[in-house]
Amino acid sequence: MQPVTVITGQMAPLPRANVDTDQIIPKQFLKRVERSGFGPFLFWDWAQDAEGELDPEFILNRPEYANAVVLVSGPNFGSGSSREHAPWAIEDRGFRAIIAPSFADIFWGNCYNVGLLPVVLTEEEVARLTELAGDPANVVTIDLASQTVTSGDFTASFDIDPGAKHRLLNGLDTIALTLGHADEIDAFEQTRPRWMPSVKSANV
């Protein structure tokens, strides 16, 4: 994973609540076995009509937002399924961070694992940023180390779990970190009661 430190660039406003994973990446695109290439299908049903005609008004179709790196949206962003294809698609489209008043839990965890920074700000702060994002000339800077978001004279700070912050800043491989505790895992496994089920042993 690439380290996440400072993210600077354009914002794309998507001011709606409960943006769900079925909208972020519809099911027909979940059949790929690859990890990349989901970007073109991002918000598929909102980006175009049933005939495949692009909606010129949809924010991600507007050429002036082509370089956006931060998505600014409403509460409960990423609700629904566990599909990591959702953050993959957002990341593949060039986004590095999402700012919203709240996120759905699984999506939130997936973002960290993908290296896409989810930032929670208050409703008022998000409303102000949404306004600022309305002018594509405005630029936002998210500094993970200092946990701040700035855009012009707007500044806000955000919370983040210290462990997640450390891993993002250093681009750490969480599996390698856990494998470093192989001895503790082995020791734990010795204590499991013998009646706990195993897939390999059925009583038939």
Partner 1 sequence: MESPRTLFDKVWDDHVVLTDDDGVDLLFIDLHLVHEVTSPQAFEALDIAGRAVHRPDLTLATIDHGVPTADRELGILDPLSKKQIDTLIANCERTGIELFDISDPRSGIVHVIGPEQGLTQPGMTIVCGDSHTATHGAFGALAIGIGTSQVEHVLATQTLSQPKPKSMSITVDGTLPAGVTPKDVILGIIARIGFNGGGGHVIEYRGSVFEDMSMEGRMTVCNMSIEAGARAGMIAPDETTFDYLRGRPHAPTGPDWDAAVEYWRTLATDPGATFDIEVVIDAADLAPYVSWGTNPSQTIRITDMIPDPESFDDPHDRDAARRALAYMDLEAGTPITDVPVDVVFLGSCTNARIEDLRAAAAVVDGHRVADGVRALVVPGSGLVKLQAEEEGLDEIFLDAGFEWRDAGCSMCLGMNPDILQPGERCASTSNRNFEGRQGRDGRTHLVSPAMAAAAAIEGRFVDIRGWS
Q: Which residues bind partner 1 (CB under 8 A)?
A: 16-18, 20, 22-23, 26-28, 30-35, 45, 50, 74-76, 79-85, 87, 102, 104-106, 109-110, 113-114, 161-163, 166, 174-175, 178-179, 181, 184-185, 188-189, 192-204
Question: Quick one: which of 110, 72, 86, 84 has its CA closest to 21?
Answer: 86
Residue 71 CA, distance from chain mean position: 10
Smallest gap from residue 169 Cβ to partner 1 (A): 13
Q: What is the dihedral of CA 53, 13, 15, 96, to 10 degrees?
A: 100
- Which CB, 2 or 153, lies closer to partner 1? 2
Smallest gap from residue 139 Cβ to partner 1 (A): 27
- Which CB, 96 or 136, lies closer to partner 1? 96
Return the HEC string of 96-127: CEEEECCECHHHHHHHHHHCCEEEECCHHHHH
- Which CB, 153 or 192, lies closer to partner 1? 192
Dist. CA 101–CA 113, nearest whole Å: 20
Dist. CA 69–CA 140, nearest whole Å: 9
Dist. CA 162–CA 56, nearest whole Å: 41
- Which CB, 10 or 90, lies closer to partner 1? 90
- Which CB, 137 or 202, lies closer to partner 1? 202
Smallest gap from residue 15 Cβ to partner 1 (A): 9
Smallest gap from residue 54 Cβ to partner 1 (A): 15
Smallest gap from residue 39 Cβ to partner 1 (A): 15
